[in-house]
């Protein structure tokens, strides 16, 4: 059996001084014991299912993170919602790089990620790095099509008027 001790520091945000004195907290300083905004303190929140989790900082309605996307020889900093998918990130990157989303491969922590994977579920946080590669199969098809156009256009007879 595990014994859990009451921690004043853990519940500092959701526990007011009136509630502390009503619960037998003594002089009412239970809530203010850890308040002061120290750099190492963690804020907690209770999710609707009852799970206690670390509180996320939110800007507006959704948390916005900055992801550094490296293309090998250059990089781009992209602002995107933390709950967005890799497919949505590809759409943003298509505006920056000119590559269509179907031509892109995104790798995070050494693994290629699907378009349906959510950034926060995979573990992408603010200022994390994602690697962007051009799909080699599509790149090869583009080069073959370009070479076929060049060969075909050079076979045209030269007509002077």
Please report, for the chain, the start and end positions of each structural domain, with discontinuous segments joined by +. Answer: 1-53, 64-140
Bigger pLDDT: 148 vs 10? 148
With a cut of 70, say whether residue 38 has pLDDT above it: no
Closest-CA residue to 97 (of 80, 72, 118): 72
Q: Which CATH architecture does the domain made up of 64-140 adopt?
A: Roll (3.10)
pLDDT tens per residue across span 59-117: 556 788 999 999 888 888 999 998 899 999 999 999 888 889 998 999 999 999 999 99
Residue 119 has pLDDT above 60, yes or no: yes
For residues 124 and 108, the answer to whether their CB atoms sit within 8 Å is: yes
Q: Identify the band that residue 161 occupies on the pLDDT scale cut at 50, 70 and 90.
A: low
pTM: 0.54
pLDDT value for 160: 63
Q: Contact at 8 Å (CB) between 130 and 70?
A: yes
Q: What is the mean pLDDT of the chain?
A: 74
Query: Closest Cα partner for 106 from 67, 142, 62, 145?
Result: 67
Q: Which residue has the higher pLDDT, 94 or 149?
A: 94
pLDDT class of 17 with cuts at 50, 70, 90 = very low
Question: What distance, in Å, lies between the first and last C-alpha atoms of the chain?
Answer: 97
Query: Of all residues in the chain, what percent are helix, strand and coil, respectively (each to 5)?
Result: 25, 25, 50
Between residues 148 and 36, the one the model is more confident about: 148
Between the CA of residue 120 and those of 72, 80, 96, 132, 134, what are the distances in Å?
24, 11, 22, 18, 24
């Amino acid at each position: 059996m595990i014994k859990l001790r009451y921690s004043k520091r853990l519940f500092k945000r959701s526990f007011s001084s009136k509630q502390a004195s009503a619960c037998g907290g003594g002089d009412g300083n239970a809530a203010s014991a850890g308040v002061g905004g120290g750099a190492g303190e963690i804020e907690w929140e209770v999710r609707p299912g009852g799970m206690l989790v670390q509180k996320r900082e939110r800007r507006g309605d959704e948390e916005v993170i900055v992801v550094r996307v490296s293309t090998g020889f250059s990089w781009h900093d992209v602002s995107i919602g933390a709950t967005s998918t890799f497919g949505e990130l590809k759409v943003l990157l298509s505006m920056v790089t000119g590559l269509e989303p179907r031509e892109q491969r995104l790798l995070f922590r050494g693994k290629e990620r699907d378009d349906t994977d959510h950034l926060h579920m995979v573990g992408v946080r603010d200022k994390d790095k994602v690697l962007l590669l051009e799909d080699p199969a599509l790149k090869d098809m583009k080069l073959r099509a370009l070479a076929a156009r060049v060969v075909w256009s050079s076979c045209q007879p030269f007509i002077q008027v």
